[in-house]
Every structure is written in C-alpha cells, then in structure tokens.
Amino acid sequence: MADGAEGADQAVKGVLKGGCLCGRVEYTIAEGFRLNPYACHCTDCQTRTGSAFSEHMLFFLKDIEINSELDVAEYTQPSGSASTIYGCPRCKARIYAENDSRPGMASLRCGTLTGSSSVIPAAHIWVQSKQPWLHLPENARTMEGNPSSSQEWVELVGIASQ
C-alpha cells in the first residue's frame, strides 16, 4: 500500500469524534469496519466545497451516533446514483452522505473530524478534473474517475485497521 494509505490508517483507527463548524452537531463513530480516507477531485465536490477537492472516508452507518437532528438534501450524481447529504441545520456544514450504490455505508466529510489535520488521503479519485495547480505526491495512488465496485474501492484505498 502507498505511504499515504499507511499514514491515513493511523489517523482513522479506533473511535472517531467530530462535529460541525458551529458546534451544534457532534458525532462519534464506533470502532468498526471503514475504508481509508480519499480525496475526491470531481467538479461536483469542487463546487459543493468551494475548494479544489474534498476528503472522505467510507464507514458503516450503524457505527455513527449523532447528538442532533441533521439537515437533509438529496442530489442525483452524474452516474445516476441518488445521494442523500446530511449536515448541520445551522451552519450548513456537511457531515456525511449516503449513496444508494453503497447500501448501509456512508461517506464522512473528513474535515469534520477532531484532529482532521492528521488524516492523510490514501488515494485521489477523479484526478482527470483535478485543479492543474494542485500537485499530488509522487507516490500517490490515483484514479482518473471513480471506483466502479466495492472491490475497486478496497483495492484503491485499503481497509483501515480496527
């Protein structure tokens, strides 16, 4: 596995905690199965975040506990998949999203994690639409688009150790 995946693995072990910008929403993700974090450079993520990319981590929904009601929005991905996005109703920070192509799993916005600066992406997806001024590490694992199966996700980013 690439160096980035090994570093990412250390930051996403055990119980994880985080929350939104204003502090209204706090969450805990129990120790359990999750994939290492990844950076997505698709134009949807760029537009949604107002930045060059977004950083996500796939986890099982059964492992998250949230202290507050969340704001909900639905979006149809370019692939046709339905995405349900959950976030803070006050500050509008996105916490996670569900995608109907991965039942039971969700994609956490890694910037909401406490200590998010230690989370290193194991891979970068949608690099075909990456901002040209952004330079990835030489040994970064990359994919031009999106993994098309669960097996491709695991092969690309790896499973975070429990």
CA 62 to chain centre: 16
Q: Give mean pLDDT, residues 130-134.
A: 95
- What is the per-residue pLDDT for 41? 92
In tens, the pLDDT along 56-89 reads 999 999 999 999 999 999 988 777 888 999 999 9
The domain ranges of the chain are: 3-157
- Distances, alpha carbon 135 to alpha carbons 35, 138, 139, 151, in Å: 24, 9, 11, 27
How many CB atoms within 10 Å of residue 140? 17
Q: Name the superfamily (CATH) of residues 3-157.
A: glutathione-dependent formaldehyde- activating enzyme (gfa) (3.90.1590.10)
10: pLDDT strictly greater than 80: no
- Residue 125 above 90 pLDDT? yes
- For 62, the token pair is 């059964």
Lowest mean pLDDT: which of 7-16, 65-74, 92-101, 121-130?
7-16
Angstrom distance (rounded) from CA 160 to CA 37:
9
Q: Which pTM was predicted?
A: 0.85
Mean pLDDT of the 101-107 span: 90
Would you say 74 and 85 are in contact if contact means Cβ atoms under 8 Å apart?
A: yes
Q: Which residue has the tokens 């059964």?
A: 62
**pLDDT at res. 2:** 40
